[in-house]
């Protein structure tokens, strides 16, 4: 089995160790991983800001990059949701591009989704003795409907005690450009999220989208001494 790694902008710039870890895990399960240097941003910031012409250009480029891939895997529910749901929509006016976009969308997976649904992983062979809580990102839980996949993998980690996050369905306030355009509202939302994290008593926050972790982590560092992954 061969997988093309879509590393995403935030992972590449702020969390490069995530990409390395994804490769290590996939290779542990016998997957051959390739990484195209031609990949760029998936176009979601442009799309969400109303610049659909620019987003369409990005979509076409990424469809070209991953057109021949067997599978595409990304450590981001947000970027996968963009490819899966909005690439076909952006390119629907051209039958050929729509077909190609659909093909890429259908073989693109979020990391935990790929492990559970495609590789059928039922033993992660990992251990971490700590108490943690999990943040469900909006695009991953609502956009892709992925909630059980991360939980299934975390339940297999030896020594890890998971505490449920109150109001786990609430947004952390990042929302990409929303955090910049509506900073006061975003700040209030992330502060409320931190309040609920503190209520769990966990000393580790786990999430599947780097944007959320960057947003929450920045505020956490100014509140309490908690690590985030």
Segments of the chain scoring below 50 in pLDDT = none
Q: For residues 8 and 123, what is the distance between their CA atoms, to the nearest angstrom?
A: 27
Judged by DSSP in three states, 79 sits in helix
The string of pLDDT tens digits covering residues 200-229 is: 999 999 999 999 999 998 887 876 655 555
* pTM of the entire predicted model: 0.91
DSSP 49: T
Question: How confident is the model over 128-144, as pLDDT tens digits?
Answer: 999 999 999 998 999 89
How far is 191 from 173, CA to CA, in rounded Å? 9
Query: What percent of the chain lies above the pLDDT cut of 70?
Result: 97
């Amino acid at each position: 089995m061969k997988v093309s790694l879509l590393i995403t902008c935030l992972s590449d710039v702020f969390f490069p160790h995530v990409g390395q870890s994804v490769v290590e895990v996939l290779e542990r399960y016998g997957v051959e991983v390739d990484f195209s240097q031609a990949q760029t941003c998936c176009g979601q910031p442009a799309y969400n800001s109303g610049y659909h012409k620019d987003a369409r250009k990005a979509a076409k480029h990424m469809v070209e990059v991953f057109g021949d891939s067997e599978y595409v895997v990304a450590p981001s529910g947000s970027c996968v949701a963009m490819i899966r749901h909005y690439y076909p929509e952006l390119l629907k006016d051209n039958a050929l591009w729509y077909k190609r976009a659909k093909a890429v969308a259908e073989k693109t997976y979020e990391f935990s989704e790929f492990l559970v649904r495609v590789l059928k992983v039922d033993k992660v062979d990992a251990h971490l003795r700590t108490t943690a809580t999990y943040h469900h990102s909006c695009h991953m839980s609502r956009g892709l409907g992925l909630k059980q996949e991360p939980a299934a993998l975390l339940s297999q980690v030896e020594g890890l005690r998971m505490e449920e996050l109150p109001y786990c369905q609430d947004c952390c306030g990042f929302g990409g450009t929303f955090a910049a355009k509506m900073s006061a509202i975003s700040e209030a939302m992330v502060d409320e999220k931190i309040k609920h994290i503190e209520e769990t008593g966990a000393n580790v926050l786990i999430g599947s989208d780097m944007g959320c972790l960057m947003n929450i982590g920045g505020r956490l560092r100014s509140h309490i001494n908690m690590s985030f992954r």
